Amino acid sequence: MSTLTPTLTPTLVTDTWNVMTRELKPVFREPASVLFAMVQPLVFLALFAPLLPDTGDGSALQWFVPGIVAMTTLMGASFTGANLLQEMVTGSHERLLVSPLSRTSLLVGRALKEIVPMLMQTAIIIAVCTPFSFDLHLGGVLLAMVIMAAFSVGIGALSFALALVSRGQDWLFWTVQQTLVFPLLLLAGVLLPLDGAPGWLRFLSDLNPLTYVVEAVRPLFAGSYPLDTIGAGLLASALVAALGLAVGLRAMRASS
């Protein structure tokens, strides 16, 4: 393929599926890894949620849970490149590069893989919170998962590109990852509302694509469907996905 815009073909779909299932095997082989990744979100739920006042639309969990789902999605997808760092050390990544699989399928398959753990973790969070006055609105949650899935694909692809750039310098990957993830979370109002934040903080929040994603999934989790907010969230997640895949494909071809 000579352009950055791949053509959707049966071979590309098959290759992408094969890569995704390959990446998912460790997840299904060791499902405890998904549970282990839930420790921090569950701790936040236990320690932060009781401090939040009711919003008037139900319990504080109705407001807080979507933010925690967004947090687990961002953190999980941002770790995608960590697996690639290990594969580059062992040589398995190079073996994939000389296989018949296209560069596009290698990237997209790995990025799509992040959707499955995200869905599993969301189900766990909802199951834990439902006995504690969290109302499940299935239709809204499913639409929210579509928004989060697109966002996770983009972040996963960007993490993949960062790992390629950081080849042989793991410290660079972890420095950039940690430097970006937590400001994105805080500026999106995941843990605390930003209604009373100073103007400069609100300005930075408005530049954060995660802000629009979180603002879209919160009403959806509450069973509300404000079209303008949902549209902004869909657009933000789609732009992140498009940017991530474009940057990831360029990094893949530059490293070949």
The reply to whether 18 falls in a domain is yes
Per-residue pLDDT, 2: 43
CA dihedral for 73, 74, 80, 83, sign (positive or negative): negative
Counted domains in the chain: 1
Write phi, then psi, for 101 (nearest 5 degrees): -65, 140
Residue 218 CB: number of other CB atoms within 10 A?
Answer: 26
The reply to whether 4 falls in a domain is no
Alpha carbon 91 to its chain's center: 27
Per-residue pLDDT, 30: 75
Residue 173's domain spans which residues?
10-255
Per-residue pLDDT, 25: 84
Write phi, then psi, for 249 (nearest 5 degrees): -65, -40
Per-residue pLDDT, 235: 97
Per-residue pLDDT, 256: 64
The reply to whether 2 falls in a domain is no
The reply to whether 157 falls in a domain is yes
The reply to whether 175 falls in a domain is yes
The reply to whether 152 falls in a domain is yes
Per-residue pLDDT, 151: 95
What's the whole-model pTM score?
Answer: 0.86
The reply to whether 144 falls in a domain is yes
pLDDT tens track, the chain, 256 positions: 444 455 556 678 888 888 888 888 887 787 777 777 778 888 888 887 777 766 555 568 888 899 999 999 999 899 888 888 888 888 887 787 777 778 788 888 888 888 888 888 899 899 988 888 888 899 999 999 999 999 999 999 999 999 999 887 888 999 999 899 999 999 998 888 888 888 899 999 999 999 999 999 999 999 999 999 999 999 999 999 999 999 998 988 877 6
The reply to whether 3 falls in a domain is no
